[in-house]
Structures are given as structure tokens and as C-alpha cells.
Amino acid sequence: MAALASAVDRVAASIEVMAGHSKWAGIKHKKAIVDARRGKLFTKLARAITVAAKDGGRDPDTNPALGLAVQKAKDASMPKDNIERAIAKGTGEGSDAEALEEVMYEGYGPGGVALLVAATTDNRNRTGSEVRHTFSKHGGNLGEPGSVAYLFDKRGLIVVDAARYAEDDLLPAIEAGALDVSVDDDVFEILTEPADLTAVRAALEDAGVELESAELSQHPKTRVPIDEDVATKLMRLIDALEDNDDVDDVHANFDVDAAVLERVAG
């Protein structure tokens, strides 16, 4: 009982009220559903599976990166045959195997917001040129490698609907090793060490908690406050970057009111 009470105290102590950055994770998840309907998301998910399989083999049990990529694809309702083809492509079993590689671009957007752009490409020159053009077109600047990466930590990120669940429902996450829990408007954001993401996810699902999303993310160490005008410009840049077929995800260190974010990004 004492251990349980201690864990409950840890949940209460760790719940932090955040601004709109947490809300963004939920909005991105909803946008991903729309992208899945268009089939665009499946292409990006398949590339991530192919790269993970190429780097670590076809067995998700011994290749954590592949396991996470496959789970993300399943979360998006990607057909099993698509997943198997992507794995085969990565291990050289497919007839059209490509030399895909992961690249991280770094830069600044409107308001001095730091951006990390995760991409998967078979042509660095093409993707780099397109990303640079997008930054310039929308008031940003592409930087050199290392220019903003130090402002982020790689973390597991789980988003839960705060309208459906209470703080006590997240106790299994803390017991499974979650680092932190924050709340922003109508979502909880649960952070983990990258290696603990699968275990924390499983603990919540075993407890009957449905997840909005669960993925590896670049989590900002500090955040830059921005107003609605800057947020509008920033979201245009992020949307344009994410529209690039080679771009998998965009991470940013902004801080904005959740209601403002809902207006400009919804």
C-alpha cells in the first residue's frame, strides 16, 4: 500500500499544466488520420519500416526500431500486406529495394522557434534543396547540422485524451517508468525514455486506457513563447514541410496557448 501511495503521489507531483505544445501532439495525430485517408501517410510509414528493417533486420522482437515503426503503422490501420512488403523491401527480399536513409535537418522558423525535420530519402540533394526552399519561402532559415539539435532530447511520447481519463488512470504509466506527465487543455502528454516507450504503452493499454498516439519524438528542453501571429506563420511552415513526401515529422520548441493553437492549426 505504501508503494502504491508513493506512486500516486508521484503522479500528482508530476502532472504539469502545459501550454499548447502538448496540444499540438493531439492535433498532429488527428491530421495523420486525414493523411491516412489520402494514402499519403502509408507511404511515409512504409519508408520508416523499410529503413528500420534495413538497419536492424526483419524481426520486430530483436529490432526495437522496427517494432515501433510497425506499431505506428498498425495504429494508422495500415494493411498487414503493406507492412510485410515494406519489411521485405528493407531486407532486400523485394524486387525494388531502394537505398533509403534517414536524415535530420535543423533550422529556425518564425519567432526564433527551433525546428528539427526528420526525413527519409533516396536522394539527399533533392530533399535538402526542397527543405531549404520551404524554410526560405515561409520565413525560416535552414541551419547547419548541430545548430538546434542540442535543444531537444529524444523521448517516448504518449498522448491520452484528458476528457476521457483522470490523473489516477495514468498511474500504470508512472509505475512502468514514465518520466513525466503533463496536461494541456484536453490531452495528457506522457514522456518516457526511448527504451521504455513500449513498456509504458503496454501498461496503459493493459489498464484499459486508449491512446491518442505513442511514438518516439524530439522533446524540447526549453520552449519559445509565441503569439497568434507568429503561430500562424509557424504552422504554415510546418504544414509545408510535412507536405513534402520525404519528410516524416517536424519537431519544434514553441509554446503557445492551446486555444490559439486550435485556431491556427485546427
- Which segments of the chain does DSSP mark as H helices, in order? 2-14, 20-38, 40-56, 64-75, 80-90, 124-137, 171-175, 197-206, 228-242, 258-265
The pLDDT tens digits of the residues spanning 143-174 come to: 999 999 999 999 999 989 888 999 899 999 99
Average pLDDT, the chain: 84
| pLDDT tens for each residue of 76-120 | 888 899 889 888 888 886 545 567 888 999 999 999 999 999 999
Q: Which residue reads 485546427 in cell numbers? A: 266
pLDDT of residue 5: 45
- 21-59 confidence digits (pLDDT tens): 555 666 665 665 555 555 677 888 888 899 888 888 888
Query: How do 247-252 and 114-121 pair as beta strands?
Result: antiparallel
- Convert the pLDDT of each residue in 3-14 to its tens digit: 444 544 544 444
How far is Cα of residue 233 from the mean position of the Cα atoms in its chain?
Answer: 21
The model's pTM: 0.79
Grid coordinates representing 83?
A: 507492412
pLDDT at 28: 66
| 224-225 and 187-192 strand pairing | unpaired
Would you state the pLDDT for residue 7? 47
Specify the pLDDT at position 25.
Answer: 63
**Residue (of 247, 63, 257) closest to 142 by Cα position:** 247
Q: Is the pLDDT of residue 131 over 90?
A: yes
Q: What is the model's pLDDT at position 4?
A: 40
Q: Is 97 helix (H, G, I), strand (E, B) or coil?
A: coil
Q: How far is 188 from 247, CA to CA, in rounded Å?
A: 26
Q: φ and ψ at 125, to 5 degrees?
A: -65, -45
Q: Identify the pLDDT of residue 208.
A: 95
Instruction: Quote the pLDDT of residue 23.
Output: 59
Closest CA to 196 of 137, 165, 168, 154: 154
